[in-house]
Amino acid sequence: MSSTRTLGPFQVSPIGLGCMNLSHAYGQPPAFEQAERLLLQALDEGVTLFDTAALYGFGANETLVGQVLAKHRQKFVLASKCGMQGVQFSDGIRRVIDGRPATLRATCEDSLRRLQTDVIDLYYLHRWDKQVPIEESVGALGDLVHAGKIRSVGLSEVSAATLRRANAEFQITALQTEYSLWTRNPEIAVLDACRDLGVAFVAFSPLARGFLPGTLGSVDGLDAKDIRRAMPRFTPGNHATNLALLNGLREVAAEAGCSLAQLSLAWLLHRAPHIIPIPGTTSAEHLSENLGALAVNLSAAQMAKLDALMPSNAAAGARYNSINQTEVDTEDF
Where in the sequence numbering do the catalytic residues fall? 56
d(CA 245, CA 86): 36
- Tell the burial category of 16 from Cβ atoms under 10 Å away from its Cβ (0-12, 13-18, 19+): buried
List Cα–Cα distances, 67 to 48, 80, 113, 278, in angstroms. 17, 15, 11, 21
Hey, what amino acid is at 272? A
DSSP states of 88-146 as a string? EETTEEEEEE---HHHHHHHHHHHHHHHT-S-BSEEEESS--TTS-HHHHHHHHHHHHH
List Cα–Cα distances, 219 to 121, 181, 211, 231, 236, in angstroms. 37, 20, 10, 11, 6
List Cα–Cα distances, 294 to 14, 38, 253, 288, 306, in angstroms. 8, 19, 14, 11, 18
List Cα–Cα distances, 159 to 7, 156, 227, in angstroms. 19, 9, 23
